[in-house]
Structure 1
Amino acid sequence: MSTSAVAPAQPSLSALDDEDLLLMLTIRHFELTLLDLFARGELNGTTHTCLGQEYIPVALESVFTDSDFVFSNHRGHGHYLARHRDPRGLLAEIMGREGAVCSGVGGSQHILRGRYLSTGVQGQSLPVAAGVALRLKRTEPGALACAYIGDGTWGEGSVYEALNMARLWELPLLVVVEHNGIAQTTPTTAQLSGSISGRAAAFGVDHVRSDSTDVVELRALLGPAVRRVRRDCRPLVVELATHRVGPHSKGDDTRPEDERAAAEADDWYRRYPPGHEEQFARLDERARAAVADVAREVRRLGPSRWDR
């Protein structure tokens, strides 16, 4: 049977330790720097920022181990930075400069490093994650595979094929849905019938949902749930209602003004400072300066080389 738990959003956010807050702020300023570099004509291609959603990978990374696999998506910079704390290598990858994570051939969306992989192809990661979870179950008990997807990805058949296999084979698969209410430019209400919980239930897959943007609250909710995935080899869908503060990709934000204003009002970056003013100001400036230093350094580097 599918289970569902809802954690209500809180009016104020819990205090974080400096390391967690600094990581969230680093991701924020990294994404803002990318948009600035594009506006200046210093980046080519495209990029999809996670502005407003930075707290999700920070909350989840604490429940992962080095043995776990993380499969990300097109909006994955925050996932990578939470996993590897490597803004220099990621920016070099996106700019095609020396020191790039994947020698500059992966760009913004396609990163491979250790047990981390991102892809811009919607739904592609879930069957792969299911296969990896099967291997982990057989060879590394206690480890899991996590796949980050969005609400729009539920239009892909591969999602349902993977859930079916994961439940039949009892795989340690964690599916994290960053439900920001819009798939590129299409509102979820215009493309998703029923509910994500109902779709998980159809396969007998457990489901947990939260509207919270509070890292401490999310960890308290997700910690026991993820431990059950490891212990029982039982797949789990975690649905996190969130907001995309920035555009889909660079400047293409088609949402009505009231929707954008609502997203900004609930943005953790605005909601955290009250009650934590000194800590926020100190670490915000530290993250801003650190990312600026990384950008200056990477811009001076030569082009990356891919030696096959």
Structure 2
Amino acid sequence: MSDALFAGLAPELPDNARLYSAMLLVRRTEERLLALFNRGLVSGTTHACIGQEANAVGIIGLLDPGRDHVISNHRCHGHYLAFGGSLAGLLGEVLGLDGGVCGGRGGSQHLRAGGFLSNGIQGGGAPVACGLALGARLAGREGGVTALCLGDGTLGQGVLYEALNMAALWDLPVLFLVEDNGYAQTTPTADAVAGSMVARGAAFGIRTAEIDSTDVLALRDFGREVVGAVRGSGRPLFAVVHTHRLCAHSKGDDTRPPEAVAALCAHDPLTVHGARLARAEREAAEAWAGARIDAALAAVAPGLVEGGP
């Protein structure tokens, strides 16, 4: 996992505490961004991945920023941080400031840093992922993985199937990672996606994998399996992670019944994994995450630091 994600965290901490701290940093960063949005300080919109942090830390965190690529979507903050992106650069970008990773011009959905790119257009990153994987091969850079992060709603976009066809025909090392959180904005997946999700990848002769979990340890094992398979074979893999979004699709537009959302909190990855830690370890993680966010925000917008969300 990228050292940048754990800046300032004691290196001797056990893995469980480090994984919890990483997920907590993603959670508290997005809570801070949502609070800033409510104050009218965010440039444009913002989409949080609250409830899905274990996917980012457990799977994307296994990728190597030195040789791999991540192509994300509108719900990209967790992927970006898990891949080692600058926290100050993220905060500055969402706030539309010069100190942002793209100079404040891309906003929450369009980040570009090293091997990380995100695109707010559903399916817009699919051909880009294939192009990057092909380009690396033509340049003689073997062994790299290009991870394409998708939502279940993207399964309705034709360009995705064109990309799957291309990746299969040309044996491209692309990890198609579908995060199925049960809703495409406000449309339940059951009302929009027919048949089996994993069968869509299998139809192209692509190896598939599937997991239903918010446990970061299970997702890390799953991530090792799928990332290792793509890296070792140089061929594509279509992986589906069934997960839960605990926040609104974008800011306050949550049409789900409150009791349904409340029931999902039992699957909160911070609760699931946090139960393995001592109270002192959780408190230390909170202090570390809060200090990192304050320091990053102070670097790009010192007047906004308030010591909390």
Same fold (TM over 0.5): yes
Shift of 1:27: 0.6
* Partner residue in 2 for 1:74: 74
Letter in 2 for 1:292: D
Letter in 2 for 1:160: Y
Alpha-carbon spacing, 1:274–1:222, altered in 2? closer, same or farther (3 Å): closer
Structure scoring higher RCO (CA < 8 A, sep ≥ 6) equals 1
d(CA) in 2 for partners of 1:70 and 1:124?
Answer: 13
Q: TM-score, normalised by structure 1?
A: 0.88
Shift of 1:234: 1.8
Structure 2 counterpart of 1:281, from 268, 280, 283: 283
- Mapping for residues 87-106 of structure 1, pairs under 5 Å: 87-106=87-106
| 2:55 equivalent to 1:56 | yes
Alpha-carbon spacing, 1:127–1:256, altered in 2? closer, same or farther (3 Å): same
* Partner residue in 2 for 1:254: 255
> Contact 1:137 / 1:172 at 8 angstroms: preserved in 2?
no
- Mapping for residues 211-226 of structure 1, pairs under 5 Å: 211-226=212-227
d(CA) in 2 for partners of 1:195 and 1:213?
Answer: 20
Shift of 1:77: 0.6
- Mapping for residues 28-39 of structure 1, pairs under 5 Å: 28-39=27-38
Letter in 2 for 1:56: N
Q: Point out 4+ residue stretches in structure 1 off by more than 4 angstroms.
A: none
* Partner residue in 2 for 1:295: 297
Gaps of 5+ in 2: 1-13, 305-309
* Partner residue in 2 for 1:12: none
Q: SS state of the match for residue 264, structure 1?
A: helix
Once the two structures are superposed, residues 220-276 of structure 1 have per-residue CA deviations (whole angstroms, 9 ceiling, x without a partner) of 233133222122222101111111011011111111223201221211122233241
Q: SS state of the match for residue 263, structure 2?
A: helix
* Partner residue in 1 for 2:11: none
* Partner residue in 2 for 1:83: 83
Shift of 1:297: 4.5
- Mapping for residues 1-308 of structure 1, pairs under 5 Å: 16-65=15-64, 66-138=66-138, 139-276=140-277, 277-300=279-302
d(CA) in 2 for partners of 1:287 and 1:78?
Answer: 14
Q: SS state of the match for residue 239, structure 1?
A: strand
> Contact 2:226 / 2:239 at 8 angstroms: preserved in 1?
no
Once the two structures are superposed, residues 32-79 of structure 1 have per-residue CA deviations (whole angstroms, 9 ceiling, x without a partner) of 001111112222311000101111111123431220111011000111
Shift of 1:278: 2.2
d(CA) in 1 for partners of 2:240 and 2:19?
Answer: 22
d(CA) in 2 for partners of 1:159 and 1:58?
Answer: 24
Alpha-carbon spacing, 1:179–1:17, altered in 2? closer, same or farther (3 Å): same
Alpha-carbon spacing, 1:53–1:145, altered in 2? closer, same or farther (3 Å): same
d(CA) in 2 for partners of 1:264 and 1:211?
Answer: 15
Q: SS state of the match for residue 272, structure 1?
A: helix
Shift of 1:18: 3.4
> Contact 2:172 / 2:235 at 8 angstroms: preserved in 1?
yes
Q: TM-score, normalised by structure 2?
A: 0.88
d(CA) in 2 for partners of 1:201 and 1:97?
Answer: 44
Letter in 1 for 2:94: I
Alpha-carbon spacing, 1:214–1:244, altered in 2? closer, same or farther (3 Å): same
> Contact 1:71 / 1:117 at 8 angstroms: preserved in 2?
yes
d(CA) in 2 for partners of 1:111 and 1:225?
Answer: 25
Shift of 1:301: 7.1
What percent of counterpart residues are identical?
A: 43
State how many pairs are aligned. 288
d(CA) in 2 for partners of 1:297 and 1:135?
Answer: 36
d(CA) in 1 for partners of 2:230 and 2:42?
Answer: 40
Shift of 1:296: 4.5
Shift of 1:88: 0.9
Letter in 1 for 2:281: Q
* Partner residue in 2 for 1:11: none
Letter in 2 for 1:71: I
> Contact 1:96 / 1:103 at 8 angstroms: preserved in 2?
yes
Shift of 1:288: 2.3
d(CA) in 1 for partners of 2:229 and 2:271?
Answer: 34
Shift of 1:116: 0.7
Gaps of 5+ in 1: 1-14, 303-308
Once the two structures are superposed, residues 166-216 of structure 1 have per-residue CA deviations (whole angstroms, 9 ceiling, x without a partner) of 111111110111110000111101111011111111111111111122222
CA RMSD of aligned residues (A): 1.8
